[in-house]
Amino acid sequence: MIGYGEGSGNRVRAIFIQKPEDADRLILDDRCLQNLAVYLPKHEVRALGKPAIVARVPVLRSIQQLVYEQQLKEGDIAVIGVSDDGQVLDFPDLKSVGDFVSKIPLTLTPDEQAALKKLEAMSREERWNFWLEEMSNCIKCYACRASCPMCYCERCTVDCNQPQWISVPAHALGSLEWHIMRAMHLAGRCVNCGDCTRACPVKIPLALLNQRIIADIVDNFGEKAEYALAAFKPDDTEDFIR
């Protein structure tokens, strides 16, 4: 069972319960924000056997997305859902997880919208300088990538060097390239859990990039846009996607 337990200080942390008598260590409160879906593809976690996972809405969305992307299939995991108002949700299968979260539109909170508005109110130069300054703090620790359930690639683009798509060093250009590439790769996939921002040791507001893309998707395709790659059918008349 992957859930939350008390951590150090006033922090909470992911815990992996393997014996029924340890289940008392499980907790759930406002501090329990980490997107636990990040652990589902991990070798050592899988080695412990089929997991059950405590899943609040962002985690449920991640599970739905991982199913879309064929990283999870029925029977791989058991889901103990928790609704936004704290009710325990019983999901007999992963399809029911998808059905449930599909009914909750992925929209931005008023605070998130306000932050985006503030950015959009900037001139192009101001915005560029804002990001350059934020990115100048980036140390390329890849905590954003490691904390993200959608960054499950065994080999990330930045690790591919033939050719070297993304500059590895943590200089201004390298960091900017990295974060733009990551945001684009998450377009339509990001569930806005906020873990990238929370994980960042130098507090770069990374989620802003993804939230902007989410806002664009909502504006252009509506709140319940189907996942594009999952919507692909072999008999699609367009052949650019093949």
Partner 1 sequence: MADKKIIRKSSLGELFKKIRSDGKRILAPVDRGGKILFEYVDSPGSIAPDYIQTTLSAKDTLLPRCEEMLRFRTEQKSVYLEESLNRPEPTLIFGVRPCDARSIAVLNAVYLINYTDDIYRQKIDTTTIVGVSCAKCDEYCFCTSVGGSPGDTAGSDMLLTQMDNDIYLAEILTDKGKAIAALAPELFAEGGDVDKNKHCADVPVRFDVKDLSKRLPGVFEDPVWIAQSLRCIGCGTCSYVCPACTCFDIQDETDGNRGVRLRCWDSCGFAQFTLHTSGHNPREVQSQRWRQRIMHKFSYQPDQLDVIGCVGCGRCSRTCPVDMNILQHITDILEVH
Partner 2 sequence: MEEKSLYQPYLMRIAANIDETPDVKTFRLEFVKEDEGKSFSFKAGQFGEYSVFGEGESTFCIASSPTRSGYIECTFRKMGRVTKSLASREVGDIIGFRGPYGNIFPLDDWKGKSLLFVTGGIALPPLRCVIWNALDLRNNFKDITVVYGARTVRDLVYKHELEEWGKRGDVKLITTVDPGGETVEWKGEVGFVPTVLEKASPSSADTVALLCGPPIMIKLTLPILTKLGFSQDKIFTTLENRMKCGIGKCGRCNVGKYFVCKDGPVFTFAQVSQLPPEY
HEC readout, 15-73: EECCCHHHHHHCECCCCCCCCHHHHCCCHHHHCCCCCEEEECHHHHHHHHHHHHCCCCC
Binding-site partner at residue 197 among partner 1, partner 2, none, CB < 5 to 8 Å by type: none
- Under DSSP, the state recorded for 137 is T
Q: Which of the ranges 12-20, 72-80, 105-113, 209-217 carries the binding residues for partner 1, by CB under 8 A?
A: 12-20
Q: Is 8 in the site for partner 2 (CB under 8 A)?
A: no
Joined together, the tokens standing for residue 90 give 């019983």
Q: Is 105 in the site for partner 1 (CB under 8 A)?
A: no
Q: Which of the ranges 11-19, 91-99, 217-225, 229-237 carries the binding residues for partner 1, by CB under 8 A?
A: 11-19
Quick one: CA dihedral 53, 76, 93, 232, positive or negative?
Answer: positive
Say how many residues touch partner 2, by CB under 8 A. Answer: 3
Q: Measured in Å, how far apart are the chain's first and last C-alpha atoms?
A: 39
Q: Is 164 in the site for partner 2 (CB under 8 A)?
A: yes
Torsion, Cα 216 219 223 228, to 10 degrees, reads -60
* Choice between 140 and 185, CB closer to partner 1: 140
Site string for partner 1, 203-222 (x = CB under 8 A): x-------------------
Binding-site partner at residue 125 among partner 2, partner 1, none, CB < 5 to 8 Å by type: none
Q: Is 161 in the site for partner 2 (CB under 8 A)?
A: yes
